[in-house]
């Protein structure tokens, strides 16, 4: 098994460059081994890095506020808090971990920002990444999965759910069309707050997401992270996973862990979901080049 979505810092914490050390990464790989995971991808958010902010600065002002809610201020404060680490140092540390024999690959979670992906891709082209995850965490300047902030949550009450879900599907289509990344992370993250439109709208959005993934040549991850969220369901849903499988979209596995304790979490359950959907291989990456490996039962799992 693999875990291709691992973060080095919990979301609430300000990233401390001093914590980037081989010992910290080794704790992740030790926990992964105990969970039956033989390889992890370090995929910190691009917004953690000063270089990432430099090419996306002020994106939150590209749209008006929604319903008078002060979304500008929250987005700007979020980036002020998080964008503290040097990308060169992060990559160098991850490469050192590889060279030391730790079972890691070097990656990044690339949060989609409309109109800025060409600049983001130009920045990242200069680094020896193995895999890039593409994700949608914002709809315009609304951080829709920031469930701890009352203002962000208020937007869920102020806009029709079908509008929100269709906007998310559109953002996923736009991200996939850029072909700037290798894997679509948590493909139906829009369900995170457990706010659902009619089933017909969900089916429409899932069809759009699956078509976008297939057209892009990207893989999609099966992630255990949703099980701990209000939606209480892994990403993607069984119905979206079936749609991805019918379109031969490759898969990776992910915990979206923000600390060592949850690396490889529920990997046996993710494997069962993949097999039930018809998958028999998992996609792996080196130098952003894809290969497929046969699925097999993990040696141990939580």
pLDDT > 70: percent of the chain: 93
Is 299 inside any structural domain? no
Task: Give me the pLDDT at residue 298, please.
Answer: 47
The distance from CA 25 to its chain's CA centroid, rounded to whole angstroms, is 19
The distance from CA 231 to its chain's CA centroid, rounded to whole angstroms, is 17
Mean pLDDT within 107-123: 93
Reduced to 3 states (helix: H, G, I; strand: E, B; else coil), residue 189 is helix
Domains of the chain: total: 1
Domain containing 34 — which CATH number? 3.20.20.140
The values of phi and psi at residue 133, to 5°, are -95, 135
Q: Look at the pTM and tell me if it is higher than 0.95.
A: no
Which residues touch 243 (CB under 8 Å, ≥6 apart)? 206, 207, 209, 210
- Least confident interval from 63-67, 94-98, 273-277: 63-67
Is 166 inside any structural domain? yes
Task: Give me the pLDDT at residue 301, please.
Answer: 42
Is 26 inside any structural domain? yes
Answer whether residue 59 shows pLDDT above 60.
Answer: yes
- Least confident interval from 50-54, 81-85, 197-201: 81-85
Answer whether residue 259 shows pLDDT above 90.
Answer: no
Answer whether residue 14 shows pLDDT above 50.
Answer: yes
pLDDT confidence bin for 44, thresholds 50/70/90? very high
Task: Give me the pLDDT at residue 297, please.
Answer: 57
Is 301 inside any structural domain? no
Task: Give me the pLDDT at residue 299, please.
Answer: 47
More confident residue, 30 or 115: 30
pLDDT tens digits, one per residue of 76-87: 888 888 888 999
Answer whether residue 19 shows pLDDT above 50.
Answer: yes
Is 300 inside any structural domain? no
Of 135, 206, 129, 125, which Cα lies nearest the Cα of 175?
135
Rounded Cα distance between 253 and 232, Å, is 18
Give the 3-state DSSP-derived string for 231-294, with helices as H, strands as E and coil as C. Answer: CCCCECCHHHHHHHHHCCCCEEEECCECCHHHCCCCHHHHHHHHHHCCCCEEEEEECCEEEEEE
CA dihedral (108, 112, 113, 114) positive or negative: positive
pLDDT > 90: percent of the chain: 74
Task: Give me the pLDDT at residue 289, please.
Answer: 97
Is 59 inside any structural domain? yes
Task: Give me the pLDDT at residue 15, please.
Answer: 61
Please answer whether residues 17 and 287 qualify as being in contact, where contact means their C-beta atoms are separated by less than 8 angstroms.
Answer: no
Q: Which domain covers residue 199, as residue numbers?
A: 2-294
Task: Give me the pLDDT at residue 12, please.
Answer: 62
Please answer whether residues 214 and 243 qualify as being in contact, where contact means their C-beta atoms are separated by less than 8 angstroms.
Answer: no
């Amino acid at each position: 098994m693999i875990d291709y979505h691992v973060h080095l810092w919990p979301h609430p914490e300000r990233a401390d460059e001093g914590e980037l050390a081989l010992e910290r990464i080794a704790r992740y790989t030790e926990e992964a081994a105990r969970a039956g995971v033989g390889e992890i991808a370090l995929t910190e958010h691009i917004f953690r890095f000063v270089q990432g902010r430099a090419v996306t600065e002020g994106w939150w002002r590209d749209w008006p506020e929604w319903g008078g809610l002060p979304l500008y201020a929250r987005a700007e404060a979020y980036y002020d808090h998080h964008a503290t680490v040097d990308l060169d140092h992060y990559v160098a540390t991850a490469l050192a971990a590889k060279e030391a024999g730790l079972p890691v690959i070097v990656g990044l979670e690339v949060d989609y920002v409309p109109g800025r992906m060409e600049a983001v891709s130009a920045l990242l082209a200069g680094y020896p990444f193995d895999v890039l995850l593409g994700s949608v965490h914002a709809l315009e300047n609304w951080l829709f999965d920031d469930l701890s902030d009352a203002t962000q949550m208020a937007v869920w009450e102020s806009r029709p759910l079908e509008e929100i879900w269709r906007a998310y599907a559109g953002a996923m289509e736009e991200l996939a069309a850029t072909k700037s990344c290798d894997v679509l992370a948590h493909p139906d993250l829009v369900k995170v707050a457990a706010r659902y439109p009619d089933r017909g709208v969900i089916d429409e959005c899932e069809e759009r997401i699956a078509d976008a993934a297939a057209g892009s040549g990207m893989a999609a991850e099966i992630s255990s992270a949703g099980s701990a969220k209000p939606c209480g369901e892994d990403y993607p849903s069984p119905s979206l996973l079936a749609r991805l499988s019918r379109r031969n979209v490759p898969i990776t596995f992910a915990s979206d862990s923000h600390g060592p304790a949850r690396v490889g979490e529920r990997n046996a359950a993710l494997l069962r979901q993949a097999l039930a959907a018809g998958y028999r291989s998992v996609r792996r990456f080196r130098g952003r080049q894809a290969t497929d490996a046969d699925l097999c039962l993990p040696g141990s799992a939580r």
